[in-house]
Amino acid sequence: VFSQIAKAPEDPILGVTVAFNKDSDTSKLNLGVGAYRTEEGKPLVLNVVKQAEQKLVNNPSRIKEYLPIVGLADFNKGSAKLIFGADSPAIQENRVTTVQCLSGTGSLRVGGEFLARHYHEKTIYIPNPTWGNHPKIFTFAGLSVKTYRYYDPTTRGLDFKGLLEDLGNAPSGAIVLLHACAHNPTGVDPTIQQWEEIRQLIRSKALLPFFDSAYQGFASGSLDADAKPVRLFVADGGECFTAQSFAKNMGLYAERVGALSIVCKTSDVASRVESQLKLVIRPMYSSPPLHGASIVSTILNDSDLYNEWTLELKAMADRIISMRTQLLETLKAKGTPGDWTHIIKQIGMFTFTGLNAEQVAFMTKEYHIYMTSDGRISMAGLSSKTIPHLADAMHAAVTT
Ligand code: LMR
């Protein structure tokens, strides 16, 4: 019955790893997927994660019963506190409902489906460009997707005027997807003053903010600093959606652990919203998995582990920042034509190099360097040892 089925293309991001795995060259380098690597180029399991897992294994009353539909209560509370701040009035007033979801993607999808069912405006505005999965997630959730201007290729920075114009022209009530920090793929974030202007515009037009927070702690190395934009919106008392992922900041990629939080106007509304979220989740995957959420909850709710986590997180963020300086210095030393200062101006896991699809294909073919065709490189996949190889490839790509 499926003899006529068409072969689907690989995913534009995860497919890069598939191609990388097939390459037998010893100098190959995967800068496609946003996944942290050590200086030795190895995936990292955080020390605090190992300790939390040990604690869980040693707990004699550990069971494997189904979690509630909304997930692990302590995980949900801890996640909300992490993003909104422990002293957030919205939390204290019980106006936040948080449900454990399958990482950031699952949180966006559940939030999207909830909006498609219960919200009067079905259009979501996403930045151009954005993470490649965003338009698919929201389309399949039943929303109609439009874009707003975000990135200016001439300055390799924010197109703030274009952003304000496009959101200013959006219909009242429209949903707006915002990257909480470390915008993917560009590494370009608004300043805090610009965030404040965005907030005023969004509130004055009664737009609905939906934050994707996949990199809290990775942009600046500080969990609180990276949560500032979200907290700015929550502080004004208005509604706000937030999808959180613990893939990057706890290195729990494969555990698929994240949370959707919806800040409502009153606790009564929040509890009704939660009852409807359960109706979205139950037929989709019934209830979320336990293991990853238990790890996160153990770390968030133990002050020693929490403090150690902040140090490990800062070390990851600092290593990425040092990769930026090293890459820029190496390109300068080689005399590679062009202005590459955006490498140190952009933040978070990625640099949006400005290399085009043809140059990327050249670097993959000739240098076995793998990256997404939009020219995005994962700075977290680099090390001092591999920077010269990347710089050689970039130099050749722009001069050949
Ligand atoms: C990325 O953008 O590389 C990450 O968010 C991983 C993914 O799922 O695409």
User: Which of 301, 331, 357 corresponds to the end of one domain?
Assistant: 301
User: What is the mean pLDDT of the segment spanning 82-95?
Assistant: 97
Considering the domain architecture, whether residues 256 and 327 belong to the same structural domain is answered as no
Question: Is residue 220 lining ligand 1, measured as CB closer than 6 Å?
Answer: no
Question: Is residue 209 lining ligand 1, measured as CB closer than 6 Å?
Answer: no
Residues whose CB is less than 8 angstroms from the CB of residue 282 and which lie 6 or more positions away in sequence, other chains included: 69
Sorting pLDDT into bands at 50, 70 and 90, what band is 71? very high
Q: What are phi and psi of 283, to 5 degrees?
A: -80, -10
Question: Is residue 262 lining ligand 1, measured as CB closer than 6 Å?
Answer: no
Considering the domain architecture, whether residues 362 and 294 belong to the same structural domain is answered as no
Distance between Cα 185 and ligand 1 center (Å): 9
Question: CATH number, domain at 134?
Answer: 3.40.640.10
Whether 202 shows a pLDDT value over 90: the answer reads yes
Flag whether 367 is in a domain.
yes
pLDDT of residue 169: 98
User: What is the mean pLDDT of the segment spanning 128-145?
Assistant: 98
In the numeric block, the tokens 């959606």 are attached to 241
Q: Sort strands 350-352 and 376-378 into parallel, antiparallel or unpaired.
A: antiparallel
Distance between Cα 131 and ligand 1 center (Å): 7
Whether 400 shows a pLDDT value over 90: the answer reads no
Whether 274 shows a pLDDT value over 90: the answer reads yes
332 contacts 340 by C-beta, under 8 angstroms: yes
Considering the domain architecture, whether residues 175 and 36 belong to the same structural domain is answered as no
Considering the domain architecture, whether residues 328 and 270 belong to the same structural domain is answered as no
Q: Is 152 a catalytic residue?
A: no
Q: Look up the ipTM and state it.
A: 0.94
Considering the domain architecture, whether residues 255 and 119 belong to the same structural domain is answered as yes
Supply the range of the domain harboring residue 368. Answer: 14-45+318-399
Considering the domain architecture, whether residues 205 and 237 belong to the same structural domain is answered as yes
Flag whether 115 is in a domain.
yes
Secondary structure (H, E, C), 276-305: HHHHHHHHHHCCCCCHHHHHHHHHHCCHHH
User: What is the mean pLDDT of the segment spanning 152-162?
Assistant: 95
User: What is the mean pLDDT of the segment spanning 286-296?
Assistant: 98
User: For the chain, how long is the longest CA-to-CA vector?
Assistant: 64
Distance between Cα 343 and ligand 1 center (Å): 19
153 contacts 354 by C-beta, under 8 angstroms: yes
Whether 182 shows a pLDDT value over 90: the answer reads yes
Flag whether 169 is in a domain.
yes
Buried b (16+ CB within 10 A) or exposed e, 87-96: ebebbeeebb
User: Which of 267, 301, 335 corresponds to the end of one domain?
Assistant: 301
In the numeric block, the tokens 């997707």 are attached to 145
User: Which of 301, 336, 352 corresponds to the end of one domain?
Assistant: 301
Considering the domain architecture, whether residues 72 and 167 belong to the same structural domain is answered as yes
Whether 207 shows a pLDDT value over 90: the answer reads yes
Considering the domain architecture, whether residues 110 and 259 belong to the same structural domain is answered as yes
Element (H, E) at 212: strand 208-213
Cα–Cα separations (whole angstroms), residue 7 to 22, 108, 169, 237: 19, 27, 39, 48
User: What is the mean pLDDT of the segment spanning 377-383?
Assistant: 95
The best mutation among 133, 216, 246, 378 to test binding of ligand 1, ranked by most ligand atoms within 8 Å of the C-beta, falls on 133
pLDDT of residue 362: 98
Flag whether 345 is in a domain.
yes
Considering the domain architecture, whether residues 235 and 100 belong to the same structural domain is answered as yes
Question: Is residue 16 lining ligand 1, measured as CB closer than 6 Å?
Answer: no
Sorting pLDDT into bands at 50, 70 and 90, what band is 222? very high
338 contacts 398 by C-beta, under 8 angstroms: yes
User: 189, 212, 226, 374: which one is catalytic?
Assistant: 212
- pTM for the model: 0.96
Distance between Cα 221 and ligand 1 center (Å): 19
- How far is it, in rounded angstroms, from Cα 75 to Cα 184? 26
Residue 349, amino acid:
M
- How far is it, in rounded angstroms, from Cα 153 to Cα 28? 28
In the numeric block, the tokens 């009242």 are attached to 172
Flag whether 55 is in a domain.
no
User: What is the mean pLDDT of the segment spanning 218-245?
Assistant: 96
Q: Mean pLDDT of all residues in the chain? A: 97
Q: What are phi and psi of 143, to 5 degrees?
A: -100, 160
Structurally, how many domains does the chain consist of? 2
Element (H, E) at 31: none
The Cα angle at residue 390 between residues 384 and 394, in degrees rounded to 5: 145
Question: Is residue 13 lining ligand 1, measured as CB closer than 6 Å?
Answer: yes
Q: Is 195 a catalytic residue?
A: no
Sorting pLDDT into bands at 50, 70 and 90, what band is 157? very high
Element (H, E) at 376: strand 376-378
Each residue of 308-333: pLDDT tens digit?
A: 999 999 999 999 999 999 999 999 99
75 contacts 246 by C-beta, under 8 angstroms: no
Each residue of 48-62: pLDDT tens digit?
A: 999 999 999 999 999
Whether 252 shows a pLDDT value over 90: the answer reads yes
User: 159, 248, 340, 374: which one is catalytic?
Assistant: 248
Considering the domain architecture, whether residues 100 and 233 belong to the same structural domain is answered as yes
Flag whether 207 is in a domain.
yes
Flag whether 223 is in a domain.
yes
Question: CATH number, domain at 24?
Answer: 3.90.1150.10
Flag whether 222 is in a domain.
yes
Whether 14 shows a pLDDT value over 90: the answer reads yes
Task: Pick the atom of ligand 1 nearest to 32's CA.
Answer: 3
Considering the domain architecture, whether residues 160 and 116 belong to the same structural domain is answered as yes
Tokens standing for residue 57 = 């294994």
Phi-psi domain of 151 (left: phi exceeds 0; alpha: psi -120 through 50; beta: other): beta
- How far is it, in rounded angstroms, from Cα 293 to Cα 74? 9
Residue 146: count other Cβ atoms within 10 Å of its Cβ: 16
Q: Is 248 a catalytic residue?
A: yes
Question: Is residue 381 lining ligand 1, measured as CB closer than 6 Å?
Answer: no
The best mutation among 10, 20, 31, 33 to test binding of ligand 1, ranked by most ligand atoms within 8 Å of the C-beta, falls on 33
Considering the domain architecture, whether residues 27 and 93 belong to the same structural domain is answered as no
Distance between Cα 219 and ligand 1 center (Å): 16
Distance between Cα 377 and ligand 1 center (Å): 11
